[in-house]
A and B are shown apart, each in its own frame.
Chain A
Amino acid sequence: MAALVLCALYAVGVVARLPLVQVPSGLALAGFVPGWLALRVAGVGGPAGRRAALAVAGSLCLSMALPLLAELFDVPASRGWTVGALCLVTGTLAVIDLIRCRRGAPGRPATPGQPGRASAPTVAAVAGVVAAVVLGASALAVAVHSERRADAAVITQVGLTPTPGASRTVELSLTNREGRPVSYVVVVELPGSQPASDYVTVPAGRSWTRTLTADRAGTVRARISGGAAGRYEVSAVLL
């Protein structure tokens, strides 16, 4: 029953676009629930830890296999196919398990030595686990913060690439990755023509492009001033 509720919850998360619902329920679907249900249906017993490990492994095997199955039947493994197949397998196993439980089959084989209420962790133990998780999360926070600072680069990318299928035509592109709007002076020199200047302001994170067509063979040159490096030069030889 819990698995069916999970499938429903997952559907709500997908339809309502709620990442806080979709991510954990999706992880449970891809990495635990189908394997757990398969073990229950097969009546596999043993300690809970062993069954949990086998459930994760079985679910990962299924997640690995689904796109390969799609390939076998020559179906593009789209998101819909993958998620649909995952839910279908999980739902089918859940229904079989439900029927077995209704018929009186043991949902979980008796496992001597299972922890009972008396073996619940103490408050100090829970606090210790929480402290360990907080410390681990702090380690990651420190790493992300320092990496962002160290790896922050101020870059302008200039490109001059042929336009596919068009004769003597190239595309000049300017990409601003400097984290602020930047004004550039663009000087373009086509074969047999005088250099032409242009002033361009490109917002942060955006690109500016211009298609250039030459009417004769030769070299197209573009010189760009501005940005972090101050000067960029690209060229293309047109035949």
Chain B
Amino acid sequence: MSSADAVAEPTAPASAPPGRLAGPAVAPLVGAGLAALTVSVAFAAARAGAGWAHPVYWAGQLLLIGAVAAAVLSPRVSPAGRLLAVFGFTAAQFVIKLAYAPLRFRFADELQHWQTTLGMADAGRQFPTNHSLPISPRFPGLETLTLTVMRATGLSFHPAAVLVCAASAMLLTAALLLLLREVTSRPELLTLAALVYLCNPNHGFFTAMFLYTAPALPMLALCLTQAVSLLRQPAGPARRLAAGLLFAGAVVVAHHLTMVVALALLTLAAAAGAAIRRLRPAARPLATLAGGAWALAAAWVWLVAPQVVDYLGGPLVALAQTFARLGAVRPDVVAGSAGAKPLVETALSLAAILVLAGATAALGWWALRARRLLLAATMAAVTAVEGAIVVIRVVSPRGEELAGRAPAYLTLLVALALALGLAQLPPATLAGRRWRLGVGAALMVVFCGGLTAGWPPYWLRLPGRHLPAGYEAAVDTRTMELGWWSRRRLPAGGRFVADFGNQTVVGTIGGLDPVGHAAALFHRPGFDYADRSAVQDLRIRYVVADRRLTQVPAPRGSYFLDPPPSDADPTRPLPAGALEKFAAVEGVGVTFDDGVIRVYDLSNSRYAW
């Protein structure tokens, strides 16, 4: 920042020389590798049903944050060692994510993007049909990148996609460091703020998944880097403007939500440049950058992705509803809080938010007392946004979804604000054993809170046996083979109903069109005219009936995307008759049987008359 209260960065205390990379500097890397191996062993133990898997998992995770936090906070580690530790942290997190499901993608959204990639590869054209996630082909950055890697290297889909995700994760860390470098040159603060970001709930799994955000987030960070650089040094902006527009363009074609965030932040930066006298020299280049990004986004939405307006409209309406009903807690939050997520985990998740909000609030208070009003206002704004996320989670009708996606973006601002604020404190304040112990403990809380608030949920944290409708645990070899069989044998776009796991796979790999709101069809005891109406209205042709639904209760209360009927007992499996009834209806064909899963064809049956 070119404001007077931002440029006066105190000199850092003398730390280890930036000279040659010595043995101790790579010790955190070894610690991160050992942590990844420990967690992987815990995953293997969980797959084998061993009871000691959970403690080993937490030991591995604590080793990871312990080794890296110690390197970042230790005055004896060189700047290169600190940077290496941060990259080692990202690499270890990626290895842990990969070790969770090393052979194939299992998460529903990953499979949806796989379907888009398959469609592009089959047709040789962009924008294929994707019944499961229709908006995905309209933002094809991830898929086009993966296809280019597949074609350039000759690799098959999964290794190419893993390489793209790994490169994106490492690039995000590098981009984050470049962004933070714009507000402080002190390595200890740079790496500390970066580590705070890398501990956010989305980073361990979501950011490393085969999702839109994989390429979009690093591009966002690099675009913001150019904007912050222009704020600091407005002179000679041409190259930075060109780079900023290039990265903004990449964000636009890669992810709708990141595009909205990028536009909001660039507009905010341009507005700050125009409104604040000290930043006014940067107003014109920032307005050019923001205007260019808006033009790119408008052109893309108008020409390629007009449906994104409706797609993002729902969450935005939900967001507006949030603040219209402040004070009213969602009934499911109250109902779900008892006996659902363990209290310790809820407390840790909350503590992580409080630690970060407390840090920015404390820095804001210090800035206010030091009469650095711009800095104080920045800290207050970041703290307020963090508080808003808690409100959204508890109050909004789509709170979990909205709040769940926020940390990837919000923590970027928090890290930036922390780096900016800490850089203004007298160096003596940030030295000493007490400071290091305090920050180390805070990092532990933020990291563990990120794990408990992030993905996977606590009941899915370790891989193991098949769980019907249990997200990744619902996607096993049998389900995947059904998906490939459907792709070969059933007409593409055929409409079907199924439980969550089979719906995910058959609707993506299988290329069929999944129909929601199917729970009632399964829960009714026999053929019913209401079912017939539903089948005809929704044009359902196939019913996928997985016998495992009659053996294990649904881990999240419903086997389907929609909730079960009010009279259904979510703690019990489906009664056996719920699936067998389809075979008894006149004219129903059985088009697939593997001994566990059956696919019924309703096209000539009583449902269709």
**Which A residues contact B (CB, under 8 angstroms)?**
14, 19, 22-23, 26-27, 29-31, 42, 44, 49-50, 52-54, 56-58, 60-61, 63-68, 70-71, 76-79, 82-83, 86, 113, 118-122, 124-125, 127-129, 131-136, 138-140, 142-153, 155-161, 164, 173, 175, 177, 219, 227-237, 239
**In the complex, chain B residues 478-527 whose Cβ is within 8 Å of any chain A Cβ:** 478, 481-482, 485, 489-491
Closest to B242 in A: A42
Stretch at the interface among B36-44, B290-298, B348-356: B36-44
Q: Are B477 and A71 in contact (CB under 8 A)?
A: no
**Contact pick for B478, options A70, A77, A113, A155, CB 8 Å:** A155
List 26 A–B pairs whose Cβ atoms lie within 8 Å, in order of A's numbering.
A23-B153, A23-B154, A26-B154, A30-B148, A30-B153, A57-B219, A60-B145, A61-B246, A63-B144, A68-B140, A120-B21, A122-B22, A125-B20, A131-B33, A132-B88, A143-B99, A143-B100, A144-B103, A149-B47, A151-B476, A153-B476, A153-B477, A159-B489, A232-B593, A237-B588, A237-B605
Taking a contact as CB atoms under 8 Å apart, the answer to whether A143 and B102 are in contact is yes
* Beta-carbon contact of B30 and A131 below 8 Å: yes
User: Would you call A77 and B147 a contact (CB within 8 A)?
Assistant: yes
Q: Looking at the complex, which one of B99, B120, B489 makes contact with A140 (CB distance below 8 Å)? A: B99
Given the complex, which residues of B lie within 8 Å of A61, measured CB to CB? 219, 246-247, 249-250
Bound-state Cα–Cα, A54 to B239, Å: 12
Q: Which residues of B contact A237 (CB under 8 A)?
A: 587-589, 601, 604-605
- A124–B485 CA distance with the chains assembled, in angstroms: 53
Which of B25, B126, B594 is packed against the most chain A CB atoms within 10 Å? B594
Q: State whether the Cβ of B167 lies closer than 8 Å to any Cβ in chain A.
A: yes
CB-CB nearest in chain A for B592? A159
A120 touches B102 (CB 8 A): no
Contact of B149 among A63, A143, A235 (CB under 8 A): A63
Partner of B20, one of A66, A118, A127, A228: A118
Contact B481 A139 (CB under 8 A): no
CA distance A159 to B587 in the complex (A): 17
B153: A residues at CB distance < 8 A = 22-23, 26-27, 30
Which residues of chain B in 111-129 are interfacial with respect to chain A, using CB atoms and an 8 Å cutoff? 120, 123-127
Q: In the complex where A135-B37, A146-B48, A237-B605 touch, is A76 in contact with B125 (Cβ < 8 A)?
A: yes
- In the bound complex, do residue B589 and residue A236 qualify as a contact, i.e. CB atoms below 8 Å apart? yes
B594 touches A31 (CB 8 A): no
Residues of A within 8 A of B92 (CB): 136
Interface of chain B, main secondary structure: helix
Q: What 8 pairs across the A-B complex have the smallest Cβ distances?
A: A229-B595, A124-B23, A135-B33, A128-B26, A146-B44, A143-B99, A26-B153, A139-B40
CB distance from B28 to the nearest CB of A (A): 9
Q: Is the CB of B29 within 8 A of A128?
A: yes
Interface bits B119-163 vs A (CB < 8 Å: 1, else 0): 010011111000000000000110011011101111100000001
Contact of B37 with A150 in the complex, beta carbons under 8 Å? no
Whole-angstrom CA separation of A42 from B98 in the bound complex: 37
Whether B590 lies near A161 (C-beta < 8 A) is no
Measured in the bound complex, the distance between the Cα atoms of B222 and A151 in whole Å is 40
Known: A57-B175, A143-B99. A157 touches B485 (CB 8 A): yes
- Closest A residue by C-beta to B476: A151
In the assembled complex, the CB of A38 is this many whole angstroms from the nearest CB of chain B, namely 10
Q: Which residues of B contact A23 (CB under 8 A)?
A: 153-155
In the complex, chain B residues 558-607 whose Cβ is within 8 Å of any chain A Cβ: 587-596, 601, 604-605
Residues of B within 8 A of A79 (CB): 151
Consensus secondary structure, chain A interface: helix
> Which of the residues B215, B587, B593 comes within 8 Å of A233, measured between beta carbons?
B593
Chain B residues whose CB sits within 8 angstroms of the CB of A42 once the complex forms: 239
- The answer to whether A82 touches B171, judged by C-beta atoms less than 8 angstroms apart, is no
Measured CA separation A229–B126 after assembly (Å): 42
Are B47 and A139 in touch, CB under 8 angstroms? no
Q: How far is the CA of A193 from the CA of B120 in the complex (A)?
A: 46
| Interface size range of chain B in the complex | 35 or more
Indicate which residue in B27, B126, B168, B478 contacts A71 across the interface (CB closer than 8 Å): B126
| Residues A150 and B152 in contact in the complex (CB < 8 Å), given A54-B243, A78-B124, A232-B594 | no
In the assembled complex, the CB of B142 is this many whole angstroms from the nearest CB of chain A, namely 8
A44, A133, A145, A159 — most chain B CB neighbours (10 Å): A159
State A19–B92 Cα separation when bound (angstroms): 27
Query: B250: which A residues are within 8 A, CB to CB?
Result: 57, 60-61, 64
In the assembled complex, the Cα of A218 lies from the Cα of B145 at a distance in Å of 50
Report the minimal beta-carbon distance from A42 to chain B, rounded to whole angstroms.
7
Find the B residue at minimum CB distance from A42: B239
Query: Which residue from A44, A64, A134, A219 sits with its C-beta under 8 Å from B239?
Result: A44
Interface pair B144/A150, CB less than 8 Å apart: no
B230 lies within 8 A of chain A by Cβ:
no
Are B594's CB and A158's CB within 8 A?
A: yes
Q: Give the shortest distance, in Å, between A49 (CB) and chain B (any CB).
A: 7
Q: Does the CB pair A64–B25 fall under 8 Å?
A: no
CB-CB nearest in chain A for B49: A150
Q: What is the 8 Å Cβ interface bit string for chain B, positions 21-65, against chain A (1 contact, 0 not)?
A: 111011101101110110111011001100000000000000000
A64 touching B23, Cβ below 8 Å: no
Taking the nearest CB of chain A, how far is it from the CB of B59, in angstroms?
14
Name the distance in Å between A175's Cβ and chain B's nearest Cβ.
7
Which of A118, A164, A235 is B589 in contact with, Cβ under 8 Å? A235
Which residues of B lie under 8 Å from residue A119 when comparing CB positions? 19-21
Most buried by B among A49, A56, A124, A128: A128
| Neighbouring A residues of B171 by C-beta, 8 Å | 53, 56-57, 60
Whether a CB of chain A sits under 8 angstroms from the CB of B287 is: no
Q: A23-B153, A57-B175, A79-B151 are in contact. Are A139 and B36 (CB under 8 A)?
A: yes
B95 at the interface (CB under 8 A from A): yes
Q: Which chain A positions have C-beta within 8 A of B32?
A: 132
Q: How far is the CA of A52 from the CA of B83 in the complex (A)?
A: 14
Expressed in whole angstroms, the Cα–Cα distance for A232 and B218 within the complex equals: 50
Query: Nearest Cβ distance between residue B135 and chain A, in whole angstroms?
Result: 17
Distance between A190 CB and nearest chain B CB, rounded to angstroms: 14
Whether the Cβ atoms of B595 and A143 lie closer than 8 Å is: no
**CB nearest neighbor in A for B167:** A31
Say yes or no: is B309 at the interface (Cβ < 8 Å to chain A): no
